[in-house]
């Protein structure tokens, strides 16, 4: 740029044109840098300056200065007239309120220096211009200048750094914002002295004012934009649906939640009515000054989905648009536009909240029912508990159950774990220990188990040795899921299905005691019967014998017959008392067995022969390929068992027929199996389970009028089992029965009795 006296030489029209270019740019140009550049260029053009520069003070987003006006913390915003190299140098240079620039930045006044070098303060022209003393001197000079106490010629220059074009003429004006804070400076320079006039100073001050307005506008614009973006973001991030509707029902704005629902509804059948209910009706009502607060609207989104919304609407009255210059005024209240009423409709999706509420209520109800059930169960005198799964995990138990077990069974704990943990043992009807799998509670929850187990005799033995005889009833329940968790899907429920059973324990200690009394009575009765019986039997037999030998007066035939009947009856009575004795001995654990090597084949043959002599309507056969098989047995007791079983086969086949006895041997394990097959009345299926109990007799046996005590099978099984064997049967009512005896070969007696509870 030429260093001539530009401003005075430019015609007024060009100057006006240049100024109006700046004014036009102020309105259009929002890019701060380009604008400042244009102003700097215009300043050069109008004043004939060789260089022009804008320095600005860093400001916060809120328009607050971030650095003081002193120091060198301003930055270079635009440069004109410098080579790129010089510009780069300027950008590195500290700029701010020191030396010539101090009045501009620190006091907000313009500075015009005709020849900066001519008045250069000699001692500070060297490199130590940045020293504290120099800065203080510069500050004082600036202060004096501003207050008219110092001619501008005495202002101290900053010195000219290396590479900086030599500036002799200097003109600078501050950029002041609306609160007259220094926002920056517009600085002009020329290498020749006396280049700027007072008029140039006026022009520059005018340009600097325009630049300040431009900066402030740009700042306001940026702030407004930021605020608008903020509002947009907040609006979009609201999880509730928010819609702005005008009084013609046009949707002016909506956030994404509102838009997504509206679009989904538009496509669904009945969606229009839903949109009406959710949006337009509340908007219309609020515009009609009706209150629309927390109105519940239920919408069928599709066939199986219903959603529930809380709708609120309020009118939005906007102030009229402001015109004229930007002024800082509060909106006067009540000054609202009536013409463009709008409604804001906000709807809050409460489907999930409602579902949770319902779930919580249902849960509370279930809990209350459960508590009531527990209360009722706890008041029951009998032990009741519920188990689930094949391992019988506890679901709930009443107080009596805890009392009977003498231990707390934890909810969810498998039965086996509970028993082991608490040192509990359970014994069966025969006094033998039962493993957990044999307990009614475990049996009932097995898949192959029928739904009910009735009157299972079990005896709990507590760790302190006390025992509790029980009758156990267990019923499998057909409820699909105990939890009743409504949140679970049907598949989850199916996957979780497990057998569930309710188990009731009845304490039969009193019954057992009564039974014991009965046993004692039987024992006494058997004893008391025995002596007179023996006397009767002895005399009857003596009379028959003496008469047969011809001693004394001969007996008439009817008398002899009567004596034979007496003899037979006493024989039967004797057998009965023997059975009673055996029962009481067994109960008291006093039955002693004497084992000895015994040939089972020979023994069976003897019994078959003897029994055959008692009947001519039955044909008893023994089939075996074994010539003999020697076992360690109490021969007398085994004869008693076989006599009883073959005797039963005869008794319960009143129409006669074959009775097939067979013996065979099996290896691994080595056992002998003896079976007795008859074709008699059989045993009804529903009574088979209890037929080995004492005094148990089947209904069909009673109905057929065959006499009996119901003690034979009980004694037989006890005797076989105490010799290490097993006794069982298969029977079909009306078709006959087969009784089986299994005995170990060469095995001696199985260990028995050590664990038997003493009360059994
Ligand atoms: P008792 O024969 O004296 O009644 P048991 O203990 O020997 O007593 O038998 C018990 C019951 O078992 C009998 O009353 C009868 O109902 C049934 N029972 C036993 N053996 C047979 C059989 N072979 N056939 C049909 N029923 C039988």
DSSP string, 299-344: EEEETTEEEEEEEEEEEEPPPPPP-SS----PPPTT---STT-EEE
Instruction: Please say if the pLDDT value at position 458 is more than 80.
Output: yes
- In sequence order, the β-bridge partners of residue 313 are 292, 345
Q: What separation in Å is there between the alpha carbon of 715 and the centre of ligand 1?
A: 12
Rounded Cα distance between 748 and 93, Å, is 116
The answer on pLDDT for 234 being more than 70 is yes
Half-sphere exposure of 551 (CA within 13 A, CB side): 6
713 CA → ligand 1 middle, Å: 7
Q: What is the pTM of this model?
A: 0.44
**Does residue 488 surpass a pLDDT of 50?**
no
Q: CB atoms < 10 A from the CB of 631, how many? A: 24
Q: Strands across the sheet with 251-254, in order?
A: 251-254, 241-246, 342-349, 305-316, 292-302
End-to-end CA distance of the chain: 128
698 lines ligand 1 (CB under 6 A): yes
- Return the residue whose CA atom lies nearest to atom 8 of ligand 1: 710
Taking the centre of ligand 1 as the mean of its atom positions, its distance from the CA of residue 645, in whole angstroms, is: 8
- Greater confidence (134 vs 676) lies with 676
Q: What is the dihedral of CA 197, 199, 202, 205, to 10 degrees?
A: -40
CA distance 694 to 715: 8
Whether pLDDT at 401 is above 60: yes
**Closest ligand 1 atom to the C-alpha of 682?**
25
The tens digit of pLDDT for each residue in 91-150 reads: 766 555 566 677 887 788 888 888 776 655 554 444 444 456 655 666 666 667 666 666
Q: What is the mean pLDDT of the chain?
A: 82
CA of 658 to the centre of ligand 1 (A): 18
Strand stretches in 134-199, DSSP E: 169-176, 182-190
152 contacts 139 by C-beta, under 8 angstroms: no
Reduced DSSP (H G I as helix, E B as strand, rest coil) percent helix, strand, coil of the chain, to 5? 45, 25, 35
Nearest protein CA to atom 19 of ligand 1, as residue:
648
Kind of pairing, strands 657-666 and 618-624?
parallel
Ligand 1 pocket test target in 583, 660, 712, 735 with most atoms within 8 Å of CB: 712
Question: What is the number of the ligand 1 atom nearest to the C-alpha of 700?
Answer: 16
Q: Which pLDDT does position 30 carry in this prediction?
A: 62
618, 710, 739: residue to mutate for ligand 1 pocket, most atoms within 8 A of CB: 710
Q: How far is the centre of ligand 1, averaged over its atoms, from the C-alpha of 642 (Å)?
A: 13
CA–CA distances in Å: residue 212 to residues 173, 184, 348, 696: 11, 8, 48, 118
Pick from 578, 583, 646, 652 the residue to mutate for probing ligand 1's pocket: most ligand atoms within 8 Å of its CB. 652
Q: What is the band of 619 on the pLDDT scale with cuts at 50, 70, 90?
A: very high
Task: Say yes or no to pLDDT of 626 above 60.
Answer: yes
Q: How many CA atoms lie within 13 A of 492 on its CB side?
A: 7
Identify the pLDDT of residue 161.
55
Q: Which of 582, 708, 741 to mutate to test the pocket of ligand 1 (most atoms within 8 A of CB)?
A: 708
Does 650 contact ligand 1 (Cβ within 6 A)?
A: no
């Amino acid at each position: 740029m030429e260093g001539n006296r530009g401003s005075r030489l430019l015609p007024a029209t060009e100057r006006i044109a240049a100024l109006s270019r700046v004014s036009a740019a102020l309105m259009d140009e929002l890019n701060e840098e380009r604008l400042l550049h244009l102003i700097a260029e215009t300043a050069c053009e109008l004043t004939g300056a060789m260089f022009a520069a804008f320095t600005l003070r860093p400001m916060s987003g809120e328009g607050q200065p971030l650095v003081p006006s002193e120091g060198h913390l301003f930055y270079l915003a635009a440069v004109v007239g410098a080579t790129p190299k010089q510009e780069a140098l300027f950008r590195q240079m500290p700029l701010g309120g020191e030396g010539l620039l101090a009045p501009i930045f620190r006091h907000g006044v313009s500075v015009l220096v005709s020849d900066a070098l001519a008045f250069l303060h000699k001692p500070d022209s060297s490199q130590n211009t940045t020293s504290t003393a120099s800065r203080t001197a510069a500050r004082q000079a600036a202060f004096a200048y501003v207050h008219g106490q110092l001619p501008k010629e005495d202002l101290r220059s900053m010195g000219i750094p290396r590479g900086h074009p030599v500036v002799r003429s200097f003109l600078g004006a501050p950029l002041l914002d609306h609160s007259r804070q220094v926002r920056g400076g517009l600085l002009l320079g020329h290498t020749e002295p006396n280049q700027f006039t007072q008029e140039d100073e006026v022009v520059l001050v005018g340009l600097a004012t325009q630049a300040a307005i431009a900066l402030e506008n740009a700042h306001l614009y940026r702030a407004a934009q930021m605020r608008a973006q903020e509002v947009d973001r907040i609006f979009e991030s609201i999880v509730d649906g928010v819609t702005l509707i005008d009084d013609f029902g046009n949707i002016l704005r909506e956030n994404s939640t509102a838009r997504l629902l509206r679009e989904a509804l538009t496509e669904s059948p009945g969606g229009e009515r839903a949109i009406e209910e959710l949006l337009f009706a509340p908007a219309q009502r609020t515009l009609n000054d009706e209150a629309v607060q927390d109105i519940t609207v239920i919408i069928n989104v599709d066939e199986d989905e219903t959603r529930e919304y809380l709708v609120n609407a309020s009118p939005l009255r906007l102030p009229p648009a402001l015109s004229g210059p930007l002024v800082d005024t509060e909106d006067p209240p009540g000054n609202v536009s009536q013409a463009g009423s709008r409604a804001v409709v906000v709807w809050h999706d409460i489907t999930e909240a409602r579902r949770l509420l319902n779930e919580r209520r249902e849960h509370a109800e279930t809990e209350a029912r459960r508590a009531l059930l527990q209360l009722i169960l706890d008041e029951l005198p009998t032990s009741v508990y519920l188990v689930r799964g094949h391992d019988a995990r506890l679901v709930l138990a009443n107080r009596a159950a805890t009392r009977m077990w003498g231990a707390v069974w934890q909810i969810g704990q498998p039965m086996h774990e509970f028993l082991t943990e608490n040192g509990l043992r359970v014994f069966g009807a025969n006094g033998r220990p039962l493993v957990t799998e044999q307990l009614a509670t475990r049996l009932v929850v097995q898949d192959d188990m029928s739904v009910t187990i009735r009157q299972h005799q079990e005896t709990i033995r507590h760790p302190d040795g006390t025992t509790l005889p029980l009758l156990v009833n267990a019923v499998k329940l057909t409820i699909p899921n105990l939890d009743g968790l409504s949140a679970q899907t049907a598949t989850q429920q199916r996957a979780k299905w497990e057998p569930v059973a309710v188990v009731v324990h009845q304490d039969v200690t009193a019954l057992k005691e009564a039974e014991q009394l009965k046993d004692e009575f039987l024992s006494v009765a058997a004893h008391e019967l025995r002596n007179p019986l023996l006397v009767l039997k002895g005399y009857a037999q003596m009379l028959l014998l003496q008469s047969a030998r011809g001693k004394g007066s001969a007996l008439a035939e009817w008398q002899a017959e009567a004596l034979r009947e007496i003899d037979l009856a006493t024989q039967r009575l004797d057998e009965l008392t023997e059975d009673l004795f055996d029962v009481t001995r067994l109960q008291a654990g006093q039955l002693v067995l004497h084992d000895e090597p015994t040939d089972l084949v020979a023994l069976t043959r003897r019994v078959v022969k003897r029994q055959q002599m008692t009947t001519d309507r039955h044909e008893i056969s023994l089939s075996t390929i074994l010539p003999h098989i020697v076992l360690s047995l109490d021969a007398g007791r085994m004869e008693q068992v076989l006599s009883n079983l073959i005797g039963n086969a005869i008794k319960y086949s009143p129409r006669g027929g074959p009775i097939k006895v067979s013996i065979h041997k099996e290896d691994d394990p080595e056992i002998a199996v003896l079976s007795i097959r008859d074709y008699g009345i059989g045993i009804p299926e529903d009574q088979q389970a209890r037929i080995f109990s004492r005094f148990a007799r089947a209904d069909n046996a009673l109905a057929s009028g065959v006499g009996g005590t119901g003690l034979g099978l009980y004694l037989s099984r006890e005797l076989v089992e105490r010799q290490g064997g097993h006794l069982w049967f298969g029977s079909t009512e009306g078709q006959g029965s087969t009784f089986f005896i299994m005995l170990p070969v060469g095995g001696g007696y199985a260990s028995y009795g050590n664990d038997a509870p003493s009360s059994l």
